[in-house]
Amino acid sequence: MAAAGAHAADQLALAALPLLAVIVFQAPPDMVGVLVALHAAAWLVLALPGGVLVDRLPRGRAILWSQAASALGLSAAVYAVATGSLAGLGLATFVAAGGTVIGLLATGALVPDLAPKPRWSEVNARIELARAVAAVIAPSLAAYVIAGPWPAASLALAACGALAAALWAGRLPTTETPPLVGREAPWRAAAAGLRFVMAEPNLRAIALCALFWNFAFLGLVAVFVPYATEVLAMAPAAIGVALGAHGAGLILGALLAPRVLSRLKLRWVMLGGPALSALAILVLPWAPVPAYFLIGFGPMLWSIGRTGVCQAVSPAALLGRVAASIQFAVYGVRPLGALACGAIAGSFGPSAALAAIGLGFALSFLAILVSPLARLASMPERALA
């Protein structure tokens, strides 16, 4: 429930931010981009220090205080809208997003302490399901509220979600602070997480796969609408249906993940996510709705499977920093994917950009294919040190 509240707050704030900027502040497109980038920058700026913090504190308390910070930041964002401060809105939502970063890192690190290994997939799937449902519902809910008499109520609702997450986190058991991390310098502690990811073959493959996949996916986000309108001649309503199919794939993948992971060998799940993404790009010109569904469904299964692998192969004292290192890499490459594929589309046309996106998904598949993950039948044993 704490993760559900955190995801609801974050997704609602992210959906409301550009709408508020345009409707309330009449901000130009470049300023809207800056505001959205500030929200996304929280992962890039705070992931590594957040991972150190998560590995130093009792993780239940880390979730509580981080979500309290999110609620405070979103309350400040409500005040910024009421007083007409666009800069204040950007700063407040960055603070709120920073709380989400730390809270979700702590949530993933806490799972092995709260559930036996056979239930990790089920618990991870519930967390991802909360994210998927929030991502589907938040845009419509934000638009509905902002169209009403008090647009800032969208952020007030987000603050309530973060506050609910903090209250639920207060009921979680605390874990002991890992014995060594507190005596390390923060930069050394963060570097230890990065080194462990690069040295551990399963984690290295996961990181490479995530880099290629997110580069390609953000490229697709940037060029799909131009491709759909210019090449496929799709109407706006049809484009909306295709984008909605992605959300449906995310939700169904999260719902089915525990059953799929219990019945299939792990290697098929780890190979299947990027493989279905590459297949989706091949069929997208003829069937954009099924293609977008596959890009949601397969990678959701993969994401839940890879979370379990990270939890299994990482020492308990490194769990937060391992997750932070992977997220840091992912969020660092995302803007590059959007910029690169947008530039390719501008110079050579959307079809050329789609080919580059397909190459990115194919490389994400190759990163798993040549790794030990392609031979895993079940979750590996958890590291002891």
- Interval 122-137: pLDDT, tens: 777 777 787 788 777 8
Q: Is residue 380 part of a domain?
A: no
Mark whether 212 and 252 lie in a shared domain: yes
151, 26 Cβ separation under 8 angstroms: no
In a domain, 382, yes or no: no
Q: Three-state DSSP class for 170?
A: coil
Is 301 a residue whose pLDDT tops 50? Answer: yes
Q: b/e map of 295-305 (b: 16 or more CB within 10 Å)?
A: bbbbbbbbbbb
pLDDT value of residue 384: 41
CATH number of the domain that residue 121 is part of: 1.20.1250.20
pLDDT band at 210 (very low <50, low <70, confident <90, very high): very high
Contact 128, 257 (CB under 8 A): yes
Q: Are 304 and 356 members of one domain?
A: yes
Residues 42 and 90 in one domain: yes
Among the three residues 142, 172, 202, which one is the final residue of a domain in this structure?
172
197 and 244 fall within a common domain:
yes
Predicted pLDDT at 237: 76
Instruction: Quote the CA–CA distance of 189 and 56 in Å, as a whole number.
Output: 10
- Where b means 16+ CB within 10 Å and e means fewer, 201-211 reads ebbbbbbbbbb
Cα gap 377→273, rounded to integer Å: 16
The domain tally of the chain equals 2
Does the residue 381 lie in any domain? no
Most confident of 111-120, 145-154, 247-256, 339-348: 247-256
Number of other CB atoms surrounding residue 371 within 10 Å: 21
Which span out of 38-42, 215-219, 275-279 was modeled with the highest average pLDDT?
275-279
CA distance 335 to 41: 10
- Chain center to CA of 139: 16
Residue 183 covered by a domain = no
- Higher-confidence position of 368 and 112: 368
Q: For residue 64, what are the domain limits?
A: 2-172
CA atoms within 13 A on the CB side of 105: 36
Q: Which residues contact 26 (CB under 8 A, 6 or more apart)?
A: none
Give percent helix, percent strand, percent coil of the chain, each to the nearest 5: 85, 0, 15
Cα(346)–Cα(336) distance, integer angstroms: 15
Domain final residue, candidates 139, 172, 205: 172
Helix axes 29-56, 2-23, angle to 10 degrees: 160
d(CA 276, CA 278): 5
Among 116-125, 159-168, 330-339, 346-355, the least confident range? 116-125
Q: What is the mean pLDDT of residues 247-264?
A: 89
Query: Using DSSP, how many helices (H) and how many strands (E) does the chain show?
Result: 13, 0
- Residue 301 structure tokens: 């299964």
Q: How many CB atoms neighbour CB 375 within 10 A? A: 9
Residue 235: DSSP 8-state? -
Q: Please provide residue 173's backbone torsions phi and psi, each rounded to the nearest 5 degrees.
A: -70, 145
Instruction: Please give the pLDDT value at position 30.
Output: 63
Q: Are residues 124 and 257 in the same domain?
A: no
Structure tokens at 271: 């190979």
Report yes or no on 185 lying in a domain: no
Whether residue 197 sits in one domain with residue 101:
no
* 94 pLDDT more than 80: yes
How far apart, in whole angstroms, are the C-alpha atoms of residue 220 and residue 64?
36
Rounded CA-CA distance 269/309 in Å is: 12
317 and 251 co-located in one domain:
yes
Residue 384 counted as domain residue: no
Answer yes or no: do 167 and 206 share one domain: no
Please give the residue that has the higher pLDDT: either 192 or 303: 303
User: Amino acid identity, residue 310?
Assistant: C
Q: What is the pTM of this model?
A: 0.77
Looking at the chain, the whole-number percentage of residues with pLDDT higher than 90 is: 26
Residue 144 CB partners (closer than 8 Å, separation 6+): none
Residue 385 within a domain: no
Mean pLDDT for the chain? 83
For residue 385, what pLDDT band results from cuts at 50, 70 and 90? very low
Q: Are residues 135 and 284 in the same domain?
A: no
Q: What is the pLDDT of residues 261-279, one digit of tens each?
A: 888 899 999 999 999 999 9
Residue 293 and residue 238 share a domain = yes
In this structure, the answer to whether residues 201 and 341 fall within a common structural domain is yes
Per-residue confidence band for 211, with pLDDT thresholds at 50, 70 and 90: very high
Contact 325, 141 (CB under 8 A): no
